[in-house]
Amino acid sequence: MQNNSVNPSDLNPHLQFDGVTGELQFEKTDLSGLAQTYGTPLYVYSASSIKEAYRAYASACEGLANVTICYAVKANSNVHILKALAQEGAGFDIVSAGELARVIAAGGKPQKAVFAGVGKSAQEIEYALSQGVGCFNVESEAEMTRIGQVAEKMQRMANVSLRVNPDVDAKTHPYISTGLKENKFGVSMNAAPRVYQFAHAHPWLNVHGIDCHIGSQLTDASPYFDALDRVLALLDQLAADGIEINHLDLGGGIGIRYLDETPPTPAEVLPRLIAKVKDWAQSKGRSMPTLSFEPGRSIVGNAGVLLTQVEFLKENEGKHFAIVDAAMNDLMRPAMYKAFHGVVAVQNNAHAQPQEYDVVGPVCESGDWLAKNRTLAIEQGDYLAILSAGAYGQTMASNYNSRGRAAEVLIENGEVTLIRRRETIEDQLRPELDV
């Protein structure tokens, strides 16, 4: 076994090779059958996995504090997945008006949505206010001013939290680290009191809380505690200035296993964070603040796989390529972050010899690869499963090379539902021909 091979059941116990046929199954459903029925590339999600991941967060906080788990919609925004999470009682972390519209279409409550992002337009703010969004997580002084203006024009109070940048190193990939002062996110600890004073004095802004999200794919919990220390120190400073903040949003970012990472579980992190807030509140004679968390990847990442079919096997000067029908436009993470995704053959192929392949797509870019140096025993026509593809997969998909976006199916208790049909060329042409 090569050290970059992944056993799917180590990522998700619902993903297993059948003991008899050797076929990869998700929630006991044969993946080759889904590939045949729905075609490839195909995203397949397990509803049980999503719900269990959500419940791991909810139960980690149970009885400890008043906590809302706001699922970060950008990780996977399919309406049917949002619906499943809304039914579980989740709130939502959104970063655009479009994501709020998705939450509403899924039956989620705008009051349980928090609106983050560094560049909210006046139209987006107006839409969110008109829908009664729970809170804006504000990322700059200029944005606070804009929200105040829109709220005043609409004569509607806007709840605001300030996203602060605690300047801690989340020790993750530079593209997904957000809590260092060189990142574009949030307001520095030094500038925060001034922005809070502005909001506090504004007749149409209601200071609701403080927000802090330090990065994504964290595999070590210590940056969360460092960030919380700094947030609590800022709350002391604000209280001394007469601004009492009673809501803490501690962001998302807990990592998942792609290869051999051992990220902390919600049960290992959340109770300790809550205890720290509780100790602080007690020592200051304050009431316990309400809390929220914003997990995305850790809810859906290992609840999804991308199925693809081998179009051709090809050798160039001793280097072997498996050219598959999924590409960087379907799953951008390898091209964008050099991200690792496990790859396995969906069925045993007794005729094929194991060979080391780069798994690449049909797009005309050298960056169009999905996996490198993987030992696979495959032939043309075989199906592969790209693992850990539930988060930042379909949401980052594009139409590059005029490729239609993949279909998506959701499995729940053996029942398979098409939750997004495959995009057609007519879908792509319409905005250009309908002008």
Ligand X SMILES: *Cc1c(COP(=O)(O)O)cnc(C)c1O
For the annotated catalytic residues, the residue numbers are 364
294 binds ligand X (CB under 6 A): yes
Strand ranges inside 182-272, DSSP E: 187-188, 205-211, 247-249
Return the closest-CA partner of residue 246 out of 308, 216, 311, 290: 290
**Which of helix, strand or coil describes residue 418?**
strand
Please, is 58 exposed, middle or buried when counting C-beta atoms within 10 Å of its C-beta (0-12, 13-18, 19+)?
A: middle
CB closer to ligand X out of 77 and 216: 216
CB closer to ligand X out of 106 and 322: 106
* Residue 201 Cβ vs ligand X, minimum distance, rounded to whole Å: 26
Cβ within 8 Å of residue 350, ≥6 positions away: none
Contact present, 306 and 361 (Cβ < 8 Å): no
Site string for ligand X, 229-258 (x = CB under 6 A): ----------------------xxx-----
Residue environment code for 303-319, b if the CB has 16+ CB neighbours within 10 A, otherwise e: bbbbbbbbeebeeeeee
* Residue 69 Cβ vs ligand X, minimum distance, rounded to whole Å: 11
333 binds ligand X (CB under 6 A): no
392 annotated as belonging to a binding site for a ligand: yes
99 binds ligand X (CB under 6 A): no
* Residue 127 Cβ vs ligand X, minimum distance, rounded to whole Å: 19
Return the closest-CA partner of residue 75 out of 255, 334, 247: 255
296 annotated as belonging to a binding site for a ligand: yes
196 annotated as belonging to a binding site for a ligand: no
365 annotated as belonging to a binding site for a ligand: yes
93 binds ligand X (CB under 6 A): yes
230 annotated as belonging to a binding site for a ligand: no
72 binds ligand X (CB under 6 A): yes
297 annotated as belonging to a binding site for a ligand: yes
* Residue 165 Cβ vs ligand X, minimum distance, rounded to whole Å: 12
Neighbours of 301 (CB within 10 A): 28
35 binds ligand X (CB under 6 A): no
78 binds ligand X (CB under 6 A): no
Tokens found for residue 59: 């139960």
Contact present, 360 and 324 (Cβ < 8 Å): yes
Tokens found for residue 374: 């993987």
For 292, the enclosing helix (H) or strand (E) is strand 290-293
* Type of residue at 236: D
75 binds ligand X (CB under 6 A): yes
CB closer to ligand X out of 8 and 91: 91
CB closer to ligand X out of 211 and 382: 211
The footprint of ligand X on residues 102-161 (CB under 6 A) is 116
213 binds ligand X (CB under 6 A): yes
What distance in Å separates the CA atoms of residue 91 and residue 85, rounded to the nearest whole number? 8
What distance in Å separates the CA atoms of residue 316 and residue 337, rounded to the nearest whole number? 25
What distance in Å separates the CA atoms of residue 130 and residue 97, rounded to the nearest whole number? 11
* Residue 73 Cβ vs ligand X, minimum distance, rounded to whole Å: 9
# residues near ligand X by CB under 6 A? 15
What distance in Å separates the CA atoms of residue 75 and residue 188, rounded to the nearest whole number? 26
Give the annotated binding-site residues.
253, 294-297, 333, 337, 365, 392
User: What is the binding site for ligand X (CB under 6 A)?
Assistant: 72, 74-75, 93, 116, 213, 216, 251-253, 294-298
Give the annotated binding-site residues for pyridoxal 5'-phosphate.
253, 294-297, 392
Give the annotated binding-site residues for substrate.
297, 333, 337, 365, 392
